[in-house]
Amino acid sequence: MVEVVDFAPGDANRACILIINWNGRENLRSCLDSCAAEDYPYFDVVVVDNASTDGSVEMIEAGYPQVRILKNRVNLGFTGAGNAGMKFAVERGYRYVLLLANDIILDSRCLSQAIKCAEQTPAVGMIGFHLLGAFSYVPVEELGKASAQWNILEAENTDWVEGAAFVIDPGLFVRLGGYDDLLFMYGDENDLENRIRRAGYLLKRINVPAWHNAGRNVMGEKKLRAAFYSLRNTLIILVKENPCRKAFRSYLRFIRAACDPRVRIPDDQIILKRYRPSNVLINGLVVLAAIVSFLWNVPRLARTKRLHSELVRAERERKLRTVEEPNERVAN
């Protein structure tokens, strides 16, 4: 167990910028530089490294001595690293976590404005940003232009927050079961956000810009692996949220996107293109592998689905009690 830090007076809302890294040294360098420029007064930077072999850890140790590194001995995926990092944040007493993929560059006001939004909206569960490059590649210079134009905080309700950059209370993250480790990567935020909404919390997106080097990270070079996880996890999430018949019927359109050459996917649609890594034959084999993996993991999926339902129910009850107790004190 990690000892809880005694923070300085006035920083009860201390935040942790938590970066998930696997062999992303050059992207990580830019991410760390942008984190250092954040204008929020009370935050620390922690990198959870998934057994990188590209010198990422050595780069951090040499150039960023103020950054804490949590080193995993094996690659636990985005989900395993995220869960380990959030557990660390809870044990250390952080009030907020800004979780980042290693290929994010922040506007200097991302953290402070997200926390401002959270403080103004007690029912908010997760806060995302105006993420340039979330769906298709955008030149990094666009971030500077968007930052220069930003002048006032605006927040909107949304059904989905991009998982590459968001702010959350780590306590809520842990109470709801965190990421589903079965997913490993891709779709993890969709699954978590479904639980956040069912527990009675809002998802918000604020208009402060950040930039995502989407599709140009290490997984952009591993197309078959990315397609496998995208296809398998899509089916897992559909089954967790819907009756099986409806889930499989919805899944047919993703199979078609992978295997039907008549379905055109624009080159700049990076997320959709994950489903179609190669030719029809190889794509069909990837779909088959994804379905077989899903079927193999059905018992585990059933257990996780029951557990997450119980955690959501417990959090809804906890949330209701926190609302009722202040009202009772006022009435007395």
Average pLDDT over residues 259-286: 87
Contact 91, 73 (CB under 8 A): no
Average pLDDT over residues 63-76: 96
Contact 16, 97 (CB under 8 A): yes
pLDDT band at 137 (very low <50, low <70, confident <90, very high): confident
Contact 47, 71 (CB under 8 A): no
- DSSP reduced 3-state for 332: coil
- Position 219 pLDDT exceeds 90: no
CATH code for the structural domain at 15-218: 3.90.550.10
Q: In this structure, what is the dihedral angle of CA atoms 247, 248, 254, 257, given to the nearest 10 degrees?
A: -150
Distance CA 11, CA 312 (A): 30
Distance CA 138, CA 264 (A): 21
Q: What are the Cα distances from residue 312, in Å, to 142, 172, 287, 294, 319?
A: 39, 10, 31, 23, 10
Q: What is the pLDDT of residue 296?
A: 98
**284: CB partners within 8 A, 6+ apart:** 258, 259
Q: What is the pLDDT of residues 13-52, one digit of tens each?
A: 899 999 999 999 999 999 999 999 999 999 999 999 999 9
Contact 197, 203 (CB under 8 A): yes
Query: 45 pairs with which residues across the strands?
Result: 17
Chain region(s) in the chain for CATH 3.90.550.10: 15-218
**34: CB partners within 8 A, 6+ apart:** 104, 105, 106, 108
Q: What is the pLDDT of residues 95-117, one digit of tens each?
A: 999 999 999 999 999 999 999 99
Q: Which residue type is seen at 56?
A: S
pTM above 0.85, yes or no: yes
Q: What is the pLDDT of residues 240-253, one digit of tens each?
A: 999 999 999 999 99
Q: What angle do CA 81, 86, 87 make, to 5 degrees?
A: 100
